[in-house]
Structure 1
Amino acid sequence: MSAPWAVGTDALVDELWRAVADGDEYTAVGVVRRARADGTDEETLLLDVIAAVQARVGTEWAADRLTVAQERAATAVNERVVTALVHDRSPAGRDERPPRGRVTVGCVDGEWHAMPARLVAEVLRLRGWRVDYLGARTPTPHLVSHLHSTSAEAVLLSGSIPTRLSAAHAAVTACQAVGVPVLAGGRAFGPDGRYARALGADHWAPDARAAAAVLDRAPAPPDPTAARQVLDDLPHLSDQEYTYVARARGRLVRQTLTSLEERFPALRAYTDAQRERTAEDLAHMVDSLATALYVDDTALFTTFLCWTADVLQARRVPAHSLVAALAVLGENLLDFPRALRLIGDGTAALAGRPLPPVPGARPTA
């Protein structure tokens, strides 16, 4: 769940970005403390400054201007900035009234991007809610166990990685089964919340402010007797294509990598590290294909492929190598019409956005 940039915060964003990108925790904390002392309210700092910097961290990584290590270091600094800001709340400045209610905030099982959920949790605390923040990778059984031991009025479920949508579906269903409504948010659920609706979430919010507004309307708990089965929500799963692709993930990756090596001998000269990255790219492709089969949505797969093409291009890997990988993957899925349709749509999406050749590029993904 992210927030739009606010007018007048650009200079703060730039200053905090420089400190975060340099890994300078003390300067970064100083930026927000000074802004707070100068009168910038905490919610603005959280959503219009810190969140904007974190979004830039992701953009710079995708453009290959930050390494993975630099991206993680920058994120760690940003997390500590949030902590410092929160700990600076003086006892006199805290709202001593009884909390408006109790909610649980956590990430989908397998989701390691915790910053959006953390920002939502802190905004809700500012607005008077008692918040149980469960952090990244919240296993669904532990989430449900927590709900049994508390009186949460709602669960706010955050997801940034679409390939965890099946896990999100399990969490939504499990929470509703114990009578707690689910408010979903984050890029994983689609720009308009389409996947949140497809998976039966009670509510969707595009950002923290919208999430707070939903809670202000006091969402009613779901009827536990009306819990649905997965096939009731997603009848297309009866064809078992998702199940096959998800379970055959490792074999599909190995088969595709082997076939690519046979067709592109240059790939055999890859170092172990290059080969490992190629296998990871293929695994992400299969995961995305499986998720698109799960929600029966072409846009999920084509969006992933176009984003991957941009990331590869920034790393001097020709994006057309994705087309070759798709062709090989399709040869291993000839008995699965929905998967073949998605692969065809993905190939067409890549062909519709030709990219210039990259000097010194590696020949395959």
Structure 2
Amino acid sequence: MLDPTVDSAYPDYLRCLDDADEHGAIDVALALLDAGVPADRVLLGLVAPAQAQVGEWWARNEWSVAQEHAATHVSERVVAAVAATVRPRPSRERVVVACLDGEWHALPARLVAEVLRLDGWDVTFLGASVPSPHLVSYLHRHDPRAVLLACALPMRLPHAFRAIEACRRTDVPVVVGGRGFGSDGRWARKLGVAWAADARAASTLLAAPSLDVATADSLVDDTEYAGLVAARVELIDLALERLDLGRYSPAQIDATVADLGYIVDSLAAAVYVDDASLFGEFVSWMSTVLASRRVPLHTVGLTFDVMADRLRDFPRARGFLQVAALPLAA
């Protein structure tokens, strides 16, 4: 439930993000603390939803990447200012919070780390994109109560599972969070790992007597997934051959190659967890992003047709592509 005081401060905070006004944003947050608003409500009721709004503005092409980066930096500074103002001494065990290798969206994990710290946990925050071997070495050395891993992109799920399994071999319990595991945590359950919807849920989970979870749901045979990974470059090249890139600038061509890579990676992740909704949700999001940038969506459908033709021996991947192409054709 929103705090009325936080709710009233929210528009001012958004204006500070829009202006990249670091000092103004910090003033808004610290004023809430001075008014008696708990620090966790400032972080979760002000900073977190504002950052989500920033992401929506970028997706709708209302903000540039530069604006989004500037706003993220401001929010990071706000989190640091709140953390410096409210510094409780740890009364609970050590936990480690980290982003998976290749995961650069560190602010949500930082928010979780700070809320856990406010709740008495002795938190070590390792930041963005922590290579699994380094993370495992750290866990061996410090033997924390648990390690919390963040993943924002479902296309990273196969990499996430390998990191989870590596951490489990240290006998340190693993908790995961972030949009990458599904809004309801369904892909975390598929991987057989404890999932927390938010920072408060993570704290409750950590305080439970046991963090043991069920083994992973039966993942499909990864032969098709491995084949998709092996065919990644070929699929991108085939799609590029069918697209009319004559009028594209070098920057537009680079962006197209990146988008095609995201399509293949998301398709592979959907095959990995055997869930068509993963690819469907990605296509819906991508369509919104591309449409806001006036990219004709029929080109996406054409790309799907090309890939589906190549993937005749990949029944799940081909089926996922065909289902996702239907609304694009409409």
1:1-365, aligned counterparts within 5 Å?
Answer: 5-89=2-86, 94-96=87-89, 99-201=91-193, 203-220=194-211, 234-238=218-222, 240-261=223-244, 267-351=245-329, 354=330
Shift of the alpha carbon at 1:274?
A: 1.3
CA distance in 1, matches of 2:307, 2:258: 15
CA distance in 2, matches of 1:39, 1:164: 40
CA contact (8 A) 2:205 2:211 kept: no
3-state SS of 2:105 partner: coil
Look up the equivalent residue of 1:252 and give its one-letter code.
L
Shift of the alpha carbon at 1:218?
A: 3.4
CA distance in 2, matches of 1:81, 1:95: 18
Change (3 A) 1:334 1:166: same
Look up the equivalent residue of 1:284 and give its one-letter code.
Y
Normalised to the residue count of structure 2, the TM-score between the two structures is: 0.95
CA distance in 2, matches of 1:114, 1:296: 28
CA contact (8 A) 2:6 2:32 kept: no
Identity %: 45
CA distance in 1, matches of 2:130, 2:18: 28
CA contact (8 A) 1:110 1:137 kept: yes
CA RMSD of aligned residues (A): 1.8
Shift of the alpha carbon at 1:221?
A: 5.5
Look up the equivalent residue of 1:208 and give its one-letter code.
A
Shift of the alpha carbon at 1:6?
A: 4.5
Change (3 A) 1:142 1:349: farther
Q: Deviations over 1:309-362 (max 9, x none)?
A: 1111111112232111101111221221111111111112434xx5xxxxxxxx
Unaligned runs of 5+ in 2: none
Look up the equivalent residue of 1:148 and give its one-letter code.
H
CA distance in 1, matches of 2:96, 2:219: 30
Look up the equivalent residue of 1:218 and give its one-letter code.
P
CA distance in 1, matches of 2:143, 2:212: 12
3-state SS of 1:156 partner: strand
Residue 358 of structure 1 is matched in structure 2 by none
Aligned residues: 330
Q: Deviations over 1:178-209 (max 9, x none)?
A: 111111111000111111111121x1111111
CA contact (8 A) 1:5 1:52 kept: no
Normalised to the residue count of structure 1, the TM-score between the two structures is: 0.86
Shift of the alpha carbon at 1:25?
A: 0.7
